[in-house]
């Protein structure tokens, strides 16, 4: 069978991870490389690390890169957990230059949108039917919305207002850590948040992603919401897979 490989890089507040992805299965090909995110996470310094990751594999093809930011036509319009110098910066042009590629060979997208693409492109058919919302619960909350498999990019549902606060404040996984909450207590806050979300968007299905999705058995059943919610099937590699997909074929469906 002919190889159908892509390359994805996931930029987070603490680490920059990349690897080769099999675009048919969404599986990792070989090892993943992780380099700590430079501090401060200035664009030039981060781009150099992205170059280092890609060169490590001798990869010459298209590259997809995620950022925890709103991205339109390669330009960042927000910067969560990364240096504010990213704001209004043409991230796609910066990465293309660093990688010696044309801008058409580089895709830059929001981290949660990438994680959603991984699930939608490689998951069961029913994920591509109706309105599916993927949420990543981590330091913040990221969101990705799909209608019949097509992404509506840059939804920022982590910032919905719940009880007068930004939803991330109590419903992100970091809030559980910070307050040392039990799963029950945290799930109570997540339910409150999801009820606001489901009243506004009426999804057919919610996918719970982010690091805590690895412990889905501890909390998903505690949620008191009307929408079906399932754990993401891609765990740590979701962003990388979705980024590789986006660079190579946008999204299939």
Binding interface with ligand BGC (CB under 6 A): 68-70, 78, 80, 110-112, 136, 138, 140, 142, 156, 158, 168
Please, which residue, 18 or 158, has the CB nearer to ligand BGC?
A: 158
Q: Which residues contact 217 (CB under 8 A, 6 or more apart)?
A: none
Please, which residue, 47 or 134, has the CB nearer to ligand BGC?
A: 134
User: Helical H runs in the chain?
Assistant: 43-56, 91-99, 111-122, 168-171, 173-179, 183-201, 216-219, 238-249
* Closest distance of CB 244 from ligand BGC, Å: 18
* Closest distance of CB 3 from ligand BGC, Å: 31
The Cα–Cα gap between 89 and 30 comes to 32
The answer to whether 248 touches 6, Cβ cutoff 8 Å, is yes
Query: Residue 124, SS3?
Result: coil
Structure tokens that stand for 252 in this block: 């299939």
Please, which residue, 98 or 139, has the CB nearer to ligand BGC?
A: 139
* Closest distance of CB 22 from ligand BGC, Å: 25
Q: Report how far Cα 194 is from the mean position of its chain's Cα atoms.
A: 18
Please, which residue, 20 or 167, has the CB nearer to ligand BGC?
A: 167
Please, which residue, 157 or 186, has the CB nearer to ligand BGC?
A: 157
The Cα–Cα gap between 112 and 109 comes to 9
* Closest distance of CB 30 from ligand BGC, Å: 26
* Closest distance of CB 44 from ligand BGC, Å: 21
Report in angstroms the alpha-carbon separations of 124 from 108, 142, 232, 233: 25, 22, 11, 10
């Amino acid at each position: 069978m002919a190889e159908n490989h892509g390359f994805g890089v996931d930029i987070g507040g603490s680490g920059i991870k990349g690897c080769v992805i099999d675009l048919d299965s969404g599986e990792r090909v070989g090892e993943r490389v992780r380099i700590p995110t430079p501090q401060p996470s200035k664009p030039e310094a981060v781009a150099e690390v992205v170059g280092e990751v890609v060169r490590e594999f001798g990869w010459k093809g298209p590259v997809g890169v995620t950022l925890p930011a709103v991205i339109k036509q390669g330009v960042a319009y927000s910067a969560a957990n990364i240096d504010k110098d990213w704001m209004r910066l043409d991230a796609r042009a910066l990465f293309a230059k660093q990688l010696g590629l044309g801008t058409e060979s580089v895709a830059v997208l929001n981290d949660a949108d990438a994680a959603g693409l991984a699930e939608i492109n490689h998951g069961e058919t029913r994920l591509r039917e109706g309105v599916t919302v993927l949420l990543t619960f981590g330091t913040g909350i990221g969101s990705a919305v799909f209608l019949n498999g097509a992404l509506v990019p840059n939804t920022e549902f982590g910032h919905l207002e719940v009880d007068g606060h930004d939803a991330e404040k109590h419903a992100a996984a970091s809030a559980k850590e910070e307050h040392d909450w039990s799963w029950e207590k945290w799930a109570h806050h997540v339910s409150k948040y999801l009820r606001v979300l489901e009243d506004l968007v009426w999804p057919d299905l919610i996918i719970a992603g982010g690091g805590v999705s690895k412990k889905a058995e501890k909390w998903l059943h505690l949620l008191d919401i009307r929408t079906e919610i399932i754990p993401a099937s891609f765990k740590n590699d979701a962003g990388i897979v979705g980024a590789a997909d986006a660079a190579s074929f946008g999204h299939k469906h």
